[in-house]
Amino acid sequence: MIKKIFLQSLAILIFTITMGCSNNKSKVQNLKLGDQIIEKKVDSVLSLMTLKEKIGQMVQYNGGWDLTGPPSKMSDKEKVEKLKNGLVGSMLNVVSVKATREAQKLVMDNSRLKIPLIFGYDVIHGYKTIFPIPLGESASWDLALIKKSAAMAAKEASASGIQWTFAPMMDISRDARWGRIMEGAGEDPYLNSMIAVARVQGFQGDDLSKENTIAACAKHFAGYGLAEAGREYNTVNIGEFELNNEVLPPFKAAAEAGVATFMNSFNELDGIPATAHKGIQRDLLKGKWNWNGFIVSDWGSIGELVPHGIAKDKYQASEIAIKAGSDMDMESHAYEANLEKLVNDGKIDVALINDAVKRILKLKFELGLFDDPYKYCNEEREVREVYSAENQKFAREVAKKSIVLLKNEDQLLPLKKSIKSIAVIGPLAYDKDTPLGNWRAQGKSYSAVSLLEGVKNMVSPTTEVVYQKGCDFILNDLKPGQSLFSHPLNINKTDISKIPAAVAAAKKADVVLLAIGENAYQTGEGRSQTNIGFAGVQSQLLKAVLQVNKNVVIILMNGRPMDITWASEHVPSILECWHLGSQAGNAIADVLFGDYNPSGKLPVSFPYNVGQEPLYYNHKNTGRPYNGGKLVTYSGYRDAPNNALYPFGFGLSYTSFRYDNLKLDKSKISKEGTINLSVDVTNTGNLDGEEVIQMYIHDRVGSITRPVKELKAFKKEMFKVGETKTINFTINNKILQFYTANKKWEVEPGDFDVFIGGNSVNTLKESFEVIN
């Protein structure tokens, strides 16, 4: 055996030297060379493996108590024996250098082939330094910023022994009731695609073998965010054209960006659970798209094919899943119990297993784990990199750029730092935990900078800052060691005893900062709600405070679009602050007092009420489009408008912008032609500020019905006071194509409208024609 390994290693070495001696190789050629070398190495290892060892590489065990699904019945002793025998390929929820080293050592010291483990973890919006929730960060529309935050999260996670994150989530999310909307980039395919690529590039860098990068995971493949009624894990009913035009583009973009792994989703698509969906996994992703990474199931989703009703037991579920393209089984213990028997029974070809294992081994080689299984186990680096001052500084930068100014009557904001008195009120005003949001990885509970602390850090010594909680949000808090997924929310619905003190404080203050919204555990996986308004007695607190002081600024902390219609009608200023992470309070203060001019834009539409959900700007026109309520027989509501309270792309600034002179350099183009578009944007206010210039397209007539408008490009620019910039965009076939009735991506001839503006509603418009 030793001789065989030596000879194969020697062959690989000779191959490497030979291939490396070619001169004048381009970067692309060098990448191909690297792939060829890794492929030879993978084949060498695969040839040494038994069937049991191969199947072991397709098994992932949970190693901690932060469960994201039903707990395993397997004992720790059983897991240890499996690790020693080389029958586990990956573990999740094993964190820290010490823990990952110990688990890796079990494999390296005891298994026959010593194939290293890969350690995965949900690094969703930071590791220990927590950035804004992904939905909030997406409101920055700042791709460079988003890429850098993912890179910083990767640096911290990799310093703690993690090599793989189950992020980014790129599910199109149109329904505010869905708790997991907080984990993605909102309702638009294009914005999701751009942000997905930025996050993949941030996590993975330009070389996965570097110690400060980690493998990314495109999830959830596919359609998870369109669950019926916004209910977690529910059925998804969409057709082929919606799937291709709306759901798949971010995944295609991530695949083209080289994302290392995919994760399939819990939902079914038109009767086929995604984990069992050969059409999207093996035929499309691995086939037509020619993507060469591996697919991991979501927690237990292979076993869940049984309650779905598509498999009678885990034996059949395993057969369906492996044939469909699922390579690694996360915590359903289906593959380890059934794949060998399926091969022996002639139900599956061992070639399917070989393909899955090669994909898994390929990533381990790319990460450099075969060269050094302990390369991510550096205690000194862990101390140096995790939760550093540099990381905290950048977390504040990301957080302030994620804030969206929704309303600002009479320029109530920004406040002067020398203001005489401020009342900081609300159940979230001195909350140091909620700003961390859900999916906070190793973020330490109650470690965030609160709003109250941020305000006190900012104002002058002469400013009186008075704090009153106003009401309790929940009647119990997360206990140490308690999983977020078993944490019950006992919302206070009756106790208003703290409101009088808050009213008294508000009455004496020059301005009230009212921090209300959602607790961190109201959103995230398994946190669907039918009520998206202010839970508990928060509305009573708001109305009582507003009666005695009209100068109220709502500091909205939340993980989903909320019904804030009453507040929007009565409160002069509203700041959408999401769950902003470790430096939340300082970042909010930066905006409140004008150290930063807010530039965020909504990545999701805010409804007038929950009855409008799902709500999204790029809807279809229907045969009887909305006519403002003039007739009964139209596609609308009798008791509410069709449009959003705050639309996609909306966000105010402390300055103002004017759009003029929208011009196209031609009015007709061929299918392969291009149009150069220009528009003048001027800062007409009194402060320097950033603006996100957005371009939307409407295809008036198509072989299938087309949305009323679709985001196709955007640019974020800084403008000095009085400055005018000419902003240019190019319209080409890539922008105009869609998945047509011919079941292919193409440009169809016809008339098009192009819209330019600072949101999806208030825009300039021009038209052009595409001819054959």
Q: What is the pLDDT of residues 355-409, one digit of tens each?
A: 999 999 999 999 999 999 999 999 999 999 999 999 999 999 999 999 999 999 9
Q: Tell me the residue type at 606.
A: F
CA–CA gap between residue 395 and residue 374 (Å, rounded): 29
Q: Are 571 and 554 in contact (CB under 8 A)?
A: yes
What would the two tokens of residue 390 be?
């540099």
d(CA 124, CA 153): 9
Spatial distance between the Cα atoms of 414 and 591, rounded to a whole number of angstroms = 7
What is the CATH T-level fold of the domain 657-771, as seen in this structure?
Immunoglobulin-like (2.60.40)
Give the pLDDT of residue 279.
98
Q: Which amino acid makes up residue 553?
A: V
Per-residue model confidence (pLDDT) at position 67: 44
Could you tell me the two tokens for 345?
């029974």
Catalytic residues: 298
Nearest residue to 547 (alpha-carbon basis) of 605, 608, 504, 601:
504
- 3-class DSSP state of 232: coil
Return d(Cα 180, Cα 616) in angstroms, integer.
16
> Do 730 and 676 meet the contact criterion of CB atoms below 8 Å apart?
yes
Nearest Cα residue to 666 out of 676, 657, 658 = 676
Which residues fall within 8 angstroms of residue 107, CB to CB, at 6 or more apart? 83, 84, 86, 88, 114, 115, 116, 117, 373
Length of the chain: 772
pLDDT surpassing 50 at residue 201: yes
Q: Which tokens in the block code for residue 523? A: 């959103």
Alpha helices in 205-259 (DSSP H): 240-242, 249-256
Instruction: Say whether 534 sits in a helix, a strand or coil.
Output: coil
Tell me how far apart the alpha carbons of residues 679 and 695 are, in angstroms, rounded to a whole number. Answer: 10
pLDDT given for residue 450 in this prediction? 98
Task: Quote the CA–CA distance of 408 and 714 in Å, as a whole number.
Answer: 25
pLDDT at 10 over 90: no
In whole angstroms, what is the distance from residue 310 CA to residue 274 CA? Answer: 11
d(CA 691, CA 715): 8
What is the Rg, in whole angstroms, of the alpha carbon atoms belonging to the chain? 27
* Distance separating alpha carbons of residues 108 and 111, to the nearest angstrom: 6
Residue 261 token pair: 């792994």
Token duo for residue 279: 């059409």
What is the C-alpha separation between 725 and 690, in angstroms, rounded?
12
Given a contact cutoff of 8 angstroms between Cβ atoms, the answer to whether 225 and 237 are in contact is no
Tell me the C-alpha distance between 92 and 369, whole Å. 16
Joined together, the tokens standing for residue 686 give 């009194």
Mean pLDDT of 649-673: 98
**Phi-psi category of 142—alpha, beta or left, where left has phi over 0 and alpha has psi -120 to 50?**
beta
pLDDT of residue 76: 82
The DSSP H or E segment spanning 454 is helix 451-458
Q: What is the CATH number of domain 2-382?
A: 3.20.20.300
Q: What 3-state DSSP class applies to 726?
A: strand
3-state secondary structure of 239: coil
User: Please, which pLDDT band fits residue 214 given cuts at 50, 70 and 90?
Assistant: very high
First-to-last alpha carbon distance for the chain, in angstroms, is 65
Burial label for 772, CB within 10 Å (0-12, 13-18, 19+), is exposed
DSSP 259-311: -SEEEE-SSEETTEEGGG-HIIIIIIIIIIS---SEEEPPTTTTTTHHHHTS-
Q: What is the mean pLDDT of residues 61-78?
A: 71
CATH code: domain 397-600 is 3.40.50.1700
| Token reading at 748 | 């169809």
Closest CA to 124 of 421, 407, 441: 441
263-300 pLDDT per residue, tens = 999 999 999 999 999 999 999 999 999 999 999 999 99
Report whether the peptide linkage leading into residue 220 is cis, meaning its omega lies within 30 degrees of zero: yes
The overall longest dimension of the chain from CA atoms, in Å, is: 86
Count other C-beta atoms under 10 Å from residue 243's C-beta: 20
Cα 276 to Cα 293: distance, rounded to the nearest angstrom: 18
pTM: 0.94
Q: How many Å separate Cα 289 from the centre of its chain?
A: 22
pLDDT tens per residue across span 679-733: 999 999 999 999 999 999 999 999 999 999 999 999 999 999 999 999 999 999 9
Q: Calculate mean pLDDT across residues 421-427.
A: 98
Instruction: Return all residues near 766 (Cβ < 8 A) that are at least 6 apart.
Output: 662, 663, 664, 677, 753, 754
Q: Where are the domains of the chain?
A: 2-382, 397-600, 657-771
- What local confidence, expressed as pLDDT, does residue 30 receive? 62
pLDDT value at position 182?
Answer: 98
Question: Crossing angle for the helix pair 27-46 and 2-20, nearest 10 degrees?
Answer: 170
pLDDT at residue 613 greater than cutoff 90: yes
What percentage of the chain exceeds 70 in pLDDT? 93
Cα–Cα distance, 219 to 513 (Å, whole number): 37
What token pair was written down for 54? 């191969």
- Say how far apart CA 741 and CA 192 lie, in whole Å: 24
Helix, strand, or coil (residue 644):
coil
- Distance between CA 297 and CA 179 in Å, rounded? 21
Whether 657-771 and 2-382 are alike in CATH topology: the answer is no
Quick one: CA dihedral 73, 76, 78, 83, positive or negative? positive
Q: Could you tell me where the beta strands, DSSP code E, fall in 26-108?
A: 59-62, 90-92
Q: Of the ranges 36-40, 134-138, 219-223, 565-569, which one carries the lowest mean pLDDT score?
A: 36-40
Q: Give residue-wise pLDDT tens across range 359-372.
A: 999 999 999 999 99
Mean pLDDT of 239-268: 98
